[in-house]
Structure 1
Amino acid sequence: MKIAIIGCGNMGMAFARSFLQYDLVKKEDLLLIEKSQERSETLKSAKEGVVVSTINAQIADYELIILSVKPQDFASLKDELTAVIQPQQVVLSIMAGIPMTKIQEMLNHKLVVRAMPNTPAMLGMGITGFTASAEVDAHKLRKVENLINATGRSVYLEDESMIDAVTALSGSGPAYFYYLVKHMIEAGKQMGFDEGMASLLVKQTMLGSYHLINNAEKSLDDLIKAVASKGGTTEAALKTFEESQLPDGLINGILAAERRAKELSK
């Protein structure tokens, strides 16, 4: 399979490296289009694909075109892409906030898949929600899904509007965990640990808790109860979280992210 990636920042290269790692594409069949001269030179030195700085006629030879540019940069490249894109090519957009109908209209092209990955894709541990225009047949969609799964796991969404919910829950989700970890580390420092020790305690606790969530045949409430003895230290912390309205704040924050995603999609 021949794949062209337009925009080779962190996410674009996360996809590229995952494809190479799992032998889903050969380096000579991977076209990396990066307008930044500095980044383009770095990519050439890394020899991870064929590197060019502009969209040109050679893109017509590629089965899949991945749009990994900032949403605000899409309008400036659409004319170049429209001039060379072929009807049978599939466009996979990982741009935030641009619906498939707008991409189809701007490129005058029907075969569009829209996806929302998250940053753990850079380690092959991401989760991506994706959907496709009606014109993308099952065979082409399976190929795209197989590629996406190289970056972690994926969920197919029948309703494109749910991409906004994916954006809020898992797309932005890593930042919520970082936020929680940051403040747990700060609490550790206030209790007398240096930052390194506090960081180790918190990060290893999160890692172990993740594995318990995934492997224990218990609900989250049961897992909480297993730690929170009546009248104990954990219960004291959880009671304070409730009194501080932490649960409502967390849920409301995620719902605010969804509302913002919907606004950006208009």
Structure 2
Amino acid sequence: MRIAILGGGNMGTTYAKAFVRSNIVKTGDLLIIEKHPEKRKSLREEGVADLKEEINESLSTYDILIVAVKPQDFKSLVPDLVKVLKPSQLIISIMAGITISTIQTLLKHDKIVRAMPNTPAQLGFGITAFTVCKDASLDQISIVDTLLETTGKAIFMKDEELLDAVTALSGSGPAYYYYFVKHMIEAGKQMGMEEPVAAMLVKQTMLGAFQIMSNSKDSLDDMIKAVASKGGTTEAALNSFEKSNVGQDIIEALKSAEKRAKELSRESA
């Protein structure tokens, strides 16, 4: 199998390294097309893949093409892509907001997969939801699943419209956790701690809580109750959250993210 990646940014590079590390593809069968000289120089030093500056006819010799450019940069690349694509090639897009039908129309190409990864993929702890064109075979779905799971976990979604919700939940999700951790650390500072001490307490607590969630069969409500003693400190904090309507605010915030994802989809059409 030969794989070409269009775009040598964070996610494109993440996939390239993951494919080689997982023995999915040999370095000589992996191509990254990256227009920026500085990035090409860095990638060349790492020796992850073959490198080219621009799209050319050699792209037609690859089985899978991963489009990892910014959505706003995609249309400018379409004329060159259309010239070299072959009907047998499978295209995997990780561009936020651009639908399968839009890509099919622009590229005049049927075999399209749309995926939404998140940044923990860089460490092998990502979660990527993906959906496929209606004519995709089970073999193709299996291949895509295998490729995406080199960076963490993958989940197949039958309904493409749900990828906007995926964007809101997991695509943008890491930033929400960083935001909450940031303010927990700030609370520690305001209570008299040095920032490194507060940061260690908060980050390790978050890691430990994740492990409990991952290994327990209890519901989240039960886990909360296990920490929140009647009349205790945890209950005081939770009561403040409830009084300030934090839970509903979180839900509304994620719905705002989903709404913006849908707007981006329409703008890219």
Bin the TM-score by the shorter chain: over 0.9
SS of 2:160's equivalent in the other structure is coil
**Match in the other structure for 2:120:** 120
Q: Mapping of 1:179-218 within 5 angstroms?
A: 179-218=179-218
Shift of 1:173: 0.4
**Match in the other structure for 1:91:** 91
Q: Mapping of 1:148-227 within 5 angstroms?
A: 148-227=148-227
Shift of 1:253: 0.3
Show structure 2 runs of 5+ residues with no match. Answer: none
Matches of 2:242 and 2:57 in 1, distance apart?
A: 59
1:171-227 C-alpha deviation (Å, 9 max, x unpaired): 000000000000000000001111100000000000000000011121100100010
**Match in the other structure for 2:229:** 229
**Match in the other structure for 1:138:** 138
Matches of 2:99 and 2:255 in 1, distance apart?
A: 19
Matches of 2:55 and 2:44 in 1, distance apart?
A: 16
Shift of 1:234: 0.3
1:140-161 C-alpha deviation (Å, 9 max, x unpaired): 2211110001111111111100
Report the count of equivalent residues.
Answer: 266
1:32-86 C-alpha deviation (Å, 9 max, x unpaired): 1001111011111111000111011111110000000000000000111110010
**Match in the other structure for 1:55:** 55
**Match in the other structure for 1:77:** 77
Shift of 1:244: 1.1
Q: One-letter code of the match for 1:6?
A: L
Matches of 2:17 and 2:40 in 1, distance apart?
A: 16
SS of 1:210's equivalent in the other structure is helix
1:102-131 C-alpha deviation (Å, 9 max, x unpaired): 000000000000000000000111001100
**Match in the other structure for 1:108:** 108
User: After TM superposition, where is structure 1 displaced by more than 6 Å over at least 4 residues in a row?
Assistant: none
Shift of 1:136: 1.9
Matches of 1:228 and 1:72 in 2, distance apart?
A: 47
Matches of 1:20 and 1:187 in 2, distance apart?
A: 43
TM-score by length of 1: 0.99
**Match in the other structure for 1:5:** 5
Matches of 1:137 and 1:217 in 2, distance apart?
A: 35
**Match in the other structure for 1:32:** 32
Shift of 1:248: 1.1
SS of 1:31's equivalent in the other structure is strand
Kindly report the root-mean-square deviation, in angstroms, between the aligned alpha carbons of the 2 structures. Answer: 0.6
SS of 2:240's equivalent in the other structure is helix
Matches of 2:212 and 2:78 in 1, distance apart?
A: 47
**Match in the other structure for 2:242:** 242
Shift of 1:135: 2.3
Q: One-letter code of the match for 2:13?
A: M
TM-score by length of 2: 0.98
